Amino acid sequence: MERGYYMKEIIHVVEKLVNKPSPTGYTTQIMKWVQGYIENLDYTVEKTNKGSVLFKLAGKSSSSARLLTAHVDTLGAMVREVKADGRLKLNRVGGFTWNAVENEGCSIHTRDGRTYRGTILMHQSSVHVYAKSGTIDRSDEHIEVRIDEKTTSKDQTSALGISVGDVVSFDARFEHTASGFIKSRHLDDKLSVALLLSLAKKVKDESLSLPVDTYIYISNNEEIGYGGNSSIPSNVSEYLAVDMGALGDGQASNEYTVSICAKDGSGPYHYELTSHLISLAKEHDIPHAVDIYPYYASDASAAVKAGADVKHALCGAGIESSHAYERTHEDSMNATYRLLEKYILSPLV
């Protein structure tokens, strides 16, 4: 399969995914879309009680298996308070800073199914009124949602059906540039979901022969720490989390290679399995970087902490400005896709 074909499919899927609101805890609709995509490929889907989906790419052997996972849940917020002036105070869902979403468009999703538009702002946004607007702490106390409805009181906002506990999702602002960059919120980790779904499509389209049963697990609670830590088939011995490579000062990863994580904030990943990924990248001339992410954890580390007896590893595309307005390049997506393909075709470690 030519790069142009599968890259087009990956980009198509990731654009669909990032534009579907799915903060952790609010993933039912996007999981229905994911399930439909999988079933259209003629795979049998298993749903977990927590809302994740699992399906199998049949291999030559079932005695021992591998599992690849990515998560569809994203950062977001919940309404913490309806203020006296009708605006909303928020409580964060997932780890991000308020400055990362200041002035971002958002949607408020009520419990009865209504959706309203708004903007996340500092209360003291107007520089013509607040002399210290630029230096006031971006915190829960100062950030609010300006709702795009005629409301200037708590009663008027409540009459819209908006209340404490309603979910707030952030606009993705997806863009695919002529130079090959993908810019969007929620590339963490919807890009990896797109990679795995497209990989499953290639296995089906080309009747690829896998050495062992290979499970794909799309989780929906990773951003709060426990997305893929249960419902792991008993014959799984290798667990690969496909998640973003974090970029910044002191990091080896970049936007043009696949990032292979040796250690993150949870500790080292399985040495032999990580070494296997590195060897595959070298053997097949796949651009890669080995890295350490100091403020990071994954579904693989969550599974191990929960007691799963698996060899765990982590790799993914390099994502610039993680948990903000993220960006990567087609080259990184291609390198990650190639490594995943080589991995599922390789023997178990």
Q: CA quadruple 301, 303, 306, 311: dihedral positive or negative?
A: negative
Instruction: State the maximum Cα–Cα separation within the chain, in Å, rounded to a whole number.
Output: 69
- Read off the tokens for 268: 């080292």
* Options 222, 223, 238, 326, the catalytic residue: 222
- Read off the tokens for 170: 């952030």
Cross-strand bridge partners of residue 242: 315
CA distances, 11 to each of 32, 181, 230, 297, 333 (Å): 19, 11, 30, 26, 9
Q: What is the rounded distance in angstroms from the CA atom of residue 36 to the CA atom of residue 25?
A: 20
Which residue, chain included where needed, has tokens 């290679």?
Answer: 257
- Is 102 considered catalytic here? no
Q: What is the rounded distance in angstroms from the CA atom of residue 80 to the CA atom of residue 106?
A: 15
Q: What is the rounded distance in angstroms from the CA atom of residue 82 to the CA atom of residue 86?
A: 6
> What positions carry a catalytic annotation?
222
